[in-house]
């Protein structure tokens, strides 16, 4: 290998490790031959810089060793998409993302930049797996940005011991960009899928239900992860299997025979029968002819093989099974043992040793141990014939060897019991896999009673071999009496026994890890994180025997997706993603190709899931009570729009009421009653990070509006980024053309009411903030819209009839046509409508028939003098008085005149042009003056 650069003097080499402890270990090992290591602080007090001289390939080098703390960069959406309500969650599948150094790691970045400017080489000591390679390229990005002339090298090692570290630095390699790309693809896929589904689930369900499983359900995040949910799926599926199990009674025949040599228990070769009558008939045959005849006796040697070399998944499974240690804690302890140099790198898929590994020297280091040292000595003794080269488990990640001990210890003073247990497991496992299998003699005896076959087995262990050191395995057996073919005897006991079928047990952690491994969910280094996430999110619980049960919340979410017919909780989608990551890492697929295909598929799943969200609601309703809490009232859902121009003390924030309506109100309510009611035609609204450059007082944040297509003309887009400050002409038109009610206006204007700079009326009553009418669900009236000063559109007219029963339009004075409503609330109900399409007159047939004749004009006798009474009537209706708020309710003014929406809902208010409560602006005689 040729190492270039540096000129004639010593090459300055910047060495970067993944953690401060690893940097210190590498520096101590490399500086030991020459001595003279110096240490100084970097910009980050936790990431020191170690300096010493060293020789690489015969070249004099001045080594500077420092570290990062795991990933140096984070992948995030652009700022305008990071706030939860800033966009439609579906947009996150293609929203711009960027990788940058977060604020808490800026000091580490500055250290790298400053040191890189003074060096010729960059030598990377990151963990030798995909994740480590990705971190390596983050470091390269920072250092090469400060010094583009750096010669970049990669050290590959698996243990923090002298031999490995010196070997790695003398055989340098180049970084693997394909490994880094695979992690980039996985990070982006997980970010987009996780963020979109998490926002969707949380905003849809959190405020709609009382989520008592979680304690403080107001701050809960209902997260979704493409690995997390399939892991939950395994738990729920086993739970459902247990619930669906119906115990069934069965019958079996058992017999035993006692002789001078002991007792043999014979089992029925049929196992058991579920039909009682059949079992009784066979049993009676055996009782009538009980003589047993020995038909066969088999004696054979059996071997119990030692385990394969230890991989990460096996370490987690065995620590869970033997010590009841969680997978997360197992990895934490293993990482600490690795960083202290006692075991090899604990994240590996490899379960076979390279032929070049000096296994004997590893065993030799353990000879002095008080517990297993004697066994290690026997293992090395050729005359004992105990040695056997480890079996090949068939997996090799090409990065690290199996987990094995790298340094002798009889137990360090700072070790916990779990450190001791895990170190013991690693050592005993290694010694076992280098040992001969246990040898046993197994005897099987088959007998016949009245034509029915029975058998019994016994085993004697002849040589324990690896079982002597691997105390976690057992291989017992019973010794059978001696039998010969043709021998006859009468059984000592012959019984017909009953039993019940049992459901499978809940999944234990070792079994769950096995399911994940088999399905390709996560990597060996991340599986424990997915399991911990389920517990942290209260989707599952774990008992003292490490067995998992889903919580109501976890089961409801899986049930909802299952009812939709999607397999978002199944492992297939994720296992395909993991296979794609593997393809990227070996170069058979490109990162962009994998990203495009995967995100396209998952966005389609997301859109389908959202379209069928009622299934998720139904599933949640099976387990949880509906909440009376207003939707989007939680702390996380409040989105500030602008400072309040009325009180100059609080902020205006976007809020969605349980009825689905949107408003922008002052946080200072009820002291400040400033409010802007947004159109009822909105299906969604979210505050963005974009600030309006013109409106004041600011900042005024723009809102991403989404209108229902059916409620706006076709020449307008349903998506509009608008400003409520008064500068947005498009929004004004959309508000003018949308169907919604004037929440802030009262029949008689309150004293001292005034308009704010943005045209919003103040002084509304408390009821104004929480009461609204329901406008027409379709654009049916067809009249030219008229807009009040707040931009609110009125589409409602009074009904009219004459003495002859002919209903005439109050505006056009023409006979009306009778039509039938097809809205959900009034399907089949008949109403009168003006023949002039430009007119908005409307009246229900049954209202006209039940009302007293009022003559041609239909205005009522009191005219405008009824304002005060009408206002009182409207107020009573808003307070839930005798007017009623039923789906078919009507509102009347003091004169008995009726104002209804197309849905039959009551309407309260007055004409904004002249103030008369007996009509609205579209039929005002002062219109156009």
Q: What's the token pair of residue 878?
A: 């808003």
Q: What are phi and psi of 564, to 5 degrees?
A: -70, -20
Q: What's the token pair of residue 649?
A: 């003390």
Q: What's the token pair of residue 394?
A: 């068939």
Cα three-residue angle 251-256-259, rounded to 5 degrees: 175
Q: Which residues contact 593 (CB under 8 A, 6 or more apart)?
A: none
The secondary structure of 711-755 as a DSSP string is GS-TTS-SEEEE-TTTT-HHHHHHHHHS----SS--SSPPTT--B
CB atoms near residue 103 (< 10 Å): 7
Q: Furthest-apart CA pair in the chain: how many Å?
A: 123
CB 458 within 8 A of CB 263: no
The residue among 910, 907, 908, 904 whose CA lies nearest residue 923 is 910
The residue among 418, 434, 32, 458 whose CA lies nearest residue 264 is 458
What angle, 0 to 180 degrees and rounded to 10, lies between the N-to-C axes of helices 591-611 and 613-623? 60
Q: What's the token pair of residue 697?
A: 């007082």
Given the residues 224, 345, 561, 908, select the one marked as catalytic: 345
First CA to last CA distance, the chain = 93
Pairing mode, strands 842-844 and 830-834: antiparallel
Pairing mode, strands 11-17 and 121-125: parallel
Q: Of all residues in the chain, what percent are helix, strand and coil, respectively (each to 5)?
A: 35, 20, 45
Tell me whether residue 345 is one of the annotated catalytic residues. Answer: yes
CB 119 within 8 A of CB 150: yes
Task: Calculate the CA dihedral of residues 168, 169, 173, 176 and round it to 10 degrees.
Answer: 70
CB 391 within 8 A of CB 308: yes
Cα three-residue angle 694-695-698, rounded to 5 degrees: 110
Q: What's the token pair of residue 771?
A: 């009461």
How far apart, in whole angstroms, are the C-alpha atoms of residue 526 and residue 521?
A: 9
The residue among 264, 606, 626, 267 whose CA lies nearest residue 458 is 264
Tokens 């006991």, residue located = 493
Q: What's the token pair of residue 858?
A: 């239909």
Q: Which residues contact 677 (CB under 8 A, 6 or more apart)?
A: 661, 663, 740, 741, 742, 743, 744, 772, 790, 792
How far apart, in whole angstroms, are the C-alpha atoms of residue 223 and residue 199?
A: 8
Would you please indicate which residues are annotated as catalytic (active-site) residues? 345
């Amino acid at each position: 290998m040729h190492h270039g650069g540096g000129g004639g003097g010593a090459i300055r080499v910047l060495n970067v490790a993944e953690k401060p402890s690893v940097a210190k270990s590498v520096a101590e090992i490399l500086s030991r031959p020459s001595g003279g290591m110096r240490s100084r602080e970097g910009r980050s007090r936790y990431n020191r810089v170690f300096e010493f001289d060293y020789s690489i390939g015969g070249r004099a080098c001045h080594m500077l060793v420092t570290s990062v703390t795991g990933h140096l960069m984070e992948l995030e959406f652009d700022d305008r998409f990071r706030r939860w309500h800033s966009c439609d969650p579906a947009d996150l599948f293609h929203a711009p993302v960027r990788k940058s150094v977060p604020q808490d790691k800026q000091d580490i970045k500055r250290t790298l930049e400053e040191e890189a400017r003074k060096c010729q080489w960059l030598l990377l000591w990151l963990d030798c797996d995909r994740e480590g390679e990705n971190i390596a390229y983050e470091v390269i990005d920072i250092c090469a940005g400060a010094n583009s002339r750096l010669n970049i090298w990669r050290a590959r090692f698996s243990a923090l011991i002298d031999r490995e570290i010196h070997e790695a630095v003398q055989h340098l390699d180049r970084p693997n960009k394909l490994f880094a790309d695979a992690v980039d693809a996985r990070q982006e896929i997980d970010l987009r899928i996780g963020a979109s589904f998490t926002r969707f689930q949380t905003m849809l369900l959190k405020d709609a239900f009382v989520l008592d499983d979680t304690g403080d359900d107001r701050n809960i995040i209902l997260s979704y992860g493409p690995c997390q949910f399939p892991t939950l799926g395994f738990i729920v599926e086993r739970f459902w299997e247990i619930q669906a199990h119906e115990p069934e009674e069965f019958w079996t025949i058992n017999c035993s025979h006692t002789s001078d040599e002991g007792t043999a228990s014979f089992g029925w070769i049929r196992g058991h029968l579920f039909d009682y009558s059949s079992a009784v008939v066979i049993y009676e045959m055996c009782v009538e002819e009980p003589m047993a005849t020995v038909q066969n006796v088999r004696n054979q040697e059996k071997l119990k093989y030692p385990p394969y070399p230890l991989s990460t998944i096996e370490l987690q499974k065995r620590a869970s099974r033997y010590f009841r240690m969680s997978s997360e804690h197992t990895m934490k302890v293993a990482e600490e043992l690795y960083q202290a140099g006692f075991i090899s790198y604990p994240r590996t898929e490899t379960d076979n040793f390279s032929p070049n590994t000096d296994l004997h020297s590893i065993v030799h280091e353990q000879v002095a141990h008080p517990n297993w040292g004697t066994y290690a000595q026997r293992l090395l003794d050729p005359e004992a014939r105990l040695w056997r080269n480890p079996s090949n488990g068939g997996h090799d990640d090409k990065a690290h060897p199996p987990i094995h001990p790298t340094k002798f210890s009889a137990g360090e003073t700072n070790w916990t019991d779990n450190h001791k247990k895990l170190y013991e497991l690693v050592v005993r496992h290694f010694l076992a896999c280098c040992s001969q299998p246990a040898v046993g003699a197994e005897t099987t005896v088959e007998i016949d009673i009245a034509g029915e076959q029975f058998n019994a087995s016994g085993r004697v262990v002849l040589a324990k071999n690896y079982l002597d050191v691997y105390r976690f395995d057992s291989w017992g057996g019973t010794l059978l009496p001696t039998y010969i073919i043709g021998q006859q005897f009468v059984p000592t006991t012959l019984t017909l026994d009953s039993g019940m079928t049992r459901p499978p047990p809940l999944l234990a952690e070792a079994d769950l890890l096995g399911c994940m491994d088999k399905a390709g969910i996560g990597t060996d280094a991340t599986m424990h994180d997915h399991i911990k996430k389920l517990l942290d999110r209260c989707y599952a619980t774990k008992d003292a025997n490490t067995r998992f049960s889903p919580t109501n919340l976890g089961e409801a979410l899986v049930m909802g997706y299952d009812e939709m017919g999607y397999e978002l909780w199944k492992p297939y989608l994720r296992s395909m993603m993991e296979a794609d990551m593997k393809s990227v890492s070996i170069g058979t697929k490109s990162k962009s190709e994998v990203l495009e295909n995967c995100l396209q598929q998952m966005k389609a799943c997301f859109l389908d899931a959202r379209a069928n969200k009622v299934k998720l609601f139904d599933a949640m309703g099976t387990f949880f009570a509906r909440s009376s809490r207003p939707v989007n009232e939680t702390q996380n859902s409040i989105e500030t729009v602008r400072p309040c121009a009325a009180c100059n003390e609080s902020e205006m924030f976007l809020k969605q009421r349980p009825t689905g309506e949107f408003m922008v109100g002052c946080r200072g309510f009820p002291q400040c009653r400033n409010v802007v009611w947004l159109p009822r035609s909105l299906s969604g609204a979210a505050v963005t990070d974009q600030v309006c450059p013109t409106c004041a007082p600011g900042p005024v944040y723009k809102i991403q509006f989404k209108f229902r297509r059916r409620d706006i003309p076709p020449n307008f887009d349903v998506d509009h980024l608008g400003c409520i400050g008064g500068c947005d002409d498009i929004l004004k038109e959309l508000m003018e053309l949308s169907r919604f009610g004037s929440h802030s206006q009262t029949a008689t204007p309150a004293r001292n009411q005034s308009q704010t700079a943005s045209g919003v009326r103040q002084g509304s009553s408390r009821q104004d903030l929480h009461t609204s009418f329901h406008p027409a669900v379709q654009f049916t009236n067809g009249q030219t819209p008229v807009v009040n000063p707040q931009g609110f559109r009125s589409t409602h007219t009074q009904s009219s009839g004459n003495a002859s029963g002919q209903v005439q339009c109050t505006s056009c004075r023409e006979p009306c046509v009778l039509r039938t409503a097809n809205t959900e609330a009034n399907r089949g109900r008949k109403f009168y409508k003006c023949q002039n399409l430009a007119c908005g007159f409307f009246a229900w047939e049954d209202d006209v028939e039940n009302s007293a004749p009022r003559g041609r004009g239909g205005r009522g006798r009191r005219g405008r003098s009824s304002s005060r009474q009408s206002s009182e009537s409207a107020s009573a209706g808003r307070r839930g008085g005798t007017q009623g708020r039923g789906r078919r309710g009507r509102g009347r003014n003091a004169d008995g005149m009726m104002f209804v929406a197309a849905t039959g809902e009551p309407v309260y208010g007055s004409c904004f042009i002249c103030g008369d409560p007996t009509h609205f602006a579209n039929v005002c005689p002062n219109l156009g003056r």
